Amino acid sequence: MNYPEEAYQKIKNSLPNDVCLVAVSKTQPIESIKKLYEIGVRDFGENKVQELSQKAPMMPKDTRWHMIGHLQRNKVKQVLPLVHLIHSVDSSRLYKELLKESEKQQIVVGILFQIHLAQEESKYGFAPEAFREFIQKEVLFDHPYIKPRGLMGMASLTEDNAQIESEFAMLKQLFEETKPEAGAGWKTLSMGMSQDYGIALNQGSTMLRIGSQIFGSRQY
Ligand SMILES: *Cc1c(COP(=O)(O)O)cnc(C)c1O
């Protein structure tokens, strides 16, 4: 397999047209990102603010950066001018910081709420019940700068496909449940990575975050 262009094309060609493929470029050199840009790719995912801040100025302005990793509140100021979509809004405190800082900078940014699906304790995100409470308490959907677009989740690291499937199904259900309240902008269900994106697609994913299947293994 020829990485990353051929690998990207192969995945992209297998997807329905309305599914967005985010190339997760964390740890990958800028040359590899540029190769994909040259064949028309615009959506790239990074999980660290520092790395994103270094790479963003090296790419054309129409590159769409996706922040997919845990975001600390003290990095919000730095990340806002760089990103197209933040996938990892995982707490009420982070959400409030985003409201405050986006108003200050007058920057419109899309966000996804990250929901904790996996069995592992280490993953970030709202527990499904906590998210239901959160959206009942907060007025989320008419802010001038912060635009909630949907949900993101990561399945357990397991070979048990039935487990992964049930976690993605749970996320899809929560996404549908929230739709009536959220309105027309609620369109994005970010689920599926290199190892589980087939299952995610079957469960209604609209956005895949794929790294190693596009770039080859990561270069730490
Ligand atoms: C690294 C990462 C991915 C991509 O993982 P691969 O297994 O390389 O496809 C997707 N989502 C998040 C949040 C990540 O940190």
- Give per-residue pLDDT as tens, 164-204: 999 999 999 999 999 998 888 999 999 999 999 999 999 99
Distance 213 CA to ligand 1 centre (A): 10
Ligand 1 pocket check for 210: Cβ under 6 Å: yes
Q: Which atom of ligand 1 is nearest to the CA of 88?
A: 13
The tens digit of pLDDT for each residue in 50-104 reads 999 999 999 999 999 999 999 999 999 999 999 999 999 999 999 999 999 999 9
Residue 120 has a pLDDT of 85
Q: In angstroms, what is the span from residue 38 Cα to ligand 1's centroid?
A: 22
Q: Which helix (H) or strand (E) holds 86?
A: strand 85-89
pLDDT digits (tens, 9 = 90+) for 93-107: 999 999 999 999 999
Scan for tokens 């740890």, then name that residue: 27
H or E segment to which residue 89 belongs: strand 85-89
Atom of ligand 1 nearest to the CA of 218: 8
**219 has a pLDDT exceeding 70:** no
* CB neighbours of residue 196 within 10 Å: 23
Q: What angle do CA 50, 25, 18 make, to 5 degrees?
A: 125
pTM reported for the whole predicted model: 0.97
- Tell me the two tokens of residue 115: 């929901």
Q: Are 105 and 81 in contact (CB under 8 A)?
A: yes
Report the alpha-carbon angle 198-149-59, nearest 5: 80
The Å distance, Cα 45 to ligand 1 centre, comes to 8
Nearest atom (ligand 1) to Cα of 152: 13
Identify the residue whose C-alpha is closest to ligand 1 atom 12: 68
Of the candidates 5, 7, 37, the residue with the CA atom closest to the CA atom of residue 213: 7
Task: Check if the beta carbon of residue 205 is closer than 8 Å to that of residue 19.
Answer: yes
Residue 13's pLDDT is 98
Name the pLDDT band for 1 (thresholds 50, 70, 90). confident
